[in-house]
Amino acid sequence: MTALYISFKSIKAKKLSAALSVLLVGFGTTIFTVLMLASTQIENKLSSNAKNIDLVVGAKGSPLQLILSSVYHIDFPTGNIPLKAANELANNPFVKRATPLALGDNYQGIRIVGTDSNFVAMYELKLQKGKFAGQKMEATLGAEVAKGKGLKIGDTFFGAHGLSDSKDPHKDHPYQVVGILAPQGNVCDQLILTSLASVWSSHGDEPHSHSETEEQDITSLLIQYRSPMSVAMFPQMVNQMTNLQSASPAVESTRLFALVGVGVETLQYFALLMMGIAALSVFVNLYNSLKEKKYDLAIMRTLGASKSKLFLIVWFEGVILTFVGAIIGIATGHLALQIIGHYQESEQAKLTGLVFEFGELYLLLASMAIGFLASLIPAWQAYKSNISNILAKN
């Protein structure tokens, strides 16, 4: 009969206090799991969305807002910039590729993005079916959009003014679906792509006969640098020489994380506190039962058990409790994240519980280490107990 079996039976005999310890360890581990999975997933998503974008140029306002609206498609745009000014920047020698964006319409909450072929090249988009929108009022759908809205090639739909509601549809300008993108694993899955001209025509500012570009507006320009040297020169040039503003996705994401990071850190401390309480509960659980069990343990010694065997019997009890708690905690964390993801409104940063991170292994090891430590003192007490004294006090 192994020490492990004896520990296991001993846990089974006092289910209630064992359940409490498992619950506390599990709760702490759950919080850690959710934090770890959510922050890595969000970070991955953000960096994949901003992969090839070195700089965003748009109307003056909050740089964070400019990044959120033009790169992550979350916030409202800062305003419009003249196409003419944008084209001048696009032709600058520092710039390798400039992708214009015209935002402002949606279809049932899905953003319609007016752009050109640079967008396709920049995000390295692939088609699942059909072709990329080129002509006016043609639309290419992101993979999730086609699935979610049940649209297929040849279908038509009406865009509505604004970014989220459908109160103000452009009834006289229907879009026609001409293509569906292969799943990209980034924000493009949640967008409808069309040409700049489509957006302009929906808003009734068709190019007039006189100058083609003079009165056209776009929302922003996504810029890819020609060389790393541009990092130092170009943003400054934009901010000083034009009345536009430039914002770097890398800088703004870092700033955003610094803001959100405080909350994550607080939660981490909370989870740490939970783990501390869990460790204490395992300790108290074992220590208390040691008082009841010291006679049992002394009897085992008279039956031939060595001191180290008693140590293992008590120690394994704590280790089993924390191991089960940690496993349950990690599983619950995944389940919780899957549920959160399911009810999430923002499609752009959807979370999933179906992905495992390597860091979870460390989490498991760390929880178990806490269990090891918490059971060490009771196990040591069992090891050095004086059986003659215990038996004499019968």
Q: Which is nearer to another protein, 87 or 385 (CB)?
A: 385
Judged by CB, which is closer to another protein: 10, or 322?
10
* Binding-site string for another protein from residue 349 to residue 388, where x marks contact by CB under 8 A and - marks none: --------------------------------------xx
**What number of other Cβ atoms are within 10 A of residue 365's Cβ?**
11
> Which three-class secondary structure state does DSSP give residue 124?
coil
What mask, x for binding another protein by CB under 8 A, covers residues 82 to 121?
Answer: ----------------------------------------
State the angle between helix axes of 15-49 and 3-13 in degrees (0 to 180), rounded to the nearest 10: 100
Judged by CB, which is closer to another protein: 232, or 303? 303
Nearer to another protein, 1 or 258 (CB): 1
Q: Report the chain's terminal Cα–Cα distance, integer Å.
A: 27
Q: Tokens 């940690």 identify what position?
A: 326
Nearest approach in angstroms of CB 11 to another protein is 8
Quickly count: other Cβ atoms within 10 Å of residue 369's Cβ.
12
Taking residues 4 to 23 in sequence order and writing x for each that binds another protein by CB under 8 A, - otherwise, the string is --x--xx-xxx---------
- Dist. CA 319–CA 373, nearest whole Å: 9
* In the complex, minimum distance from the CB of residue 384 to another protein, in angstroms, rounded to a whole number: 12
Minimum CB separation from another protein for residue 307, in Å?
Answer: 7
In the complex with another protein, the residue whose CB is nearer, 18 or 160, is: 18
Asked if 45 is part of the footprint of another protein (rule: CB under 8 A), the reply reads no
Strand segments, DSSP code E, in the chain are: 55-58, 81-82, 95-107, 110-115, 127-130, 138-141, 156-161, 169-181, 191-195, 217-218, 220-225, 245-247
Q: State the residue for tokens 């865009």.
A: 159
Distance of CA 143 to the CA centre of its chain: 20
Applying the rule CB under 8 A, the residues between 240 and 299 that interact with another protein are 295-296, 299
**Of residues 290-329, which lie at the interface with another protein (CB under 8 A)?**
295-296, 299-307, 309
Q: Which residues of 142-181 are buried (b: 16+ CB within 10 A; e: fewer)?
A: bbbbbebbebeeeeebbbbeebeeeeebbeebebebbbbb
CA distance 50 to 256: 14
Binding residue (CB under 8 A) for another protein from 91, 209, 240, 394 = 394
Q: Which residues contribute to the site for another protein (CB under 8 A)?
A: 1-2, 6, 9-10, 12-14, 295-296, 299-307, 309, 387-388, 391-392, 394
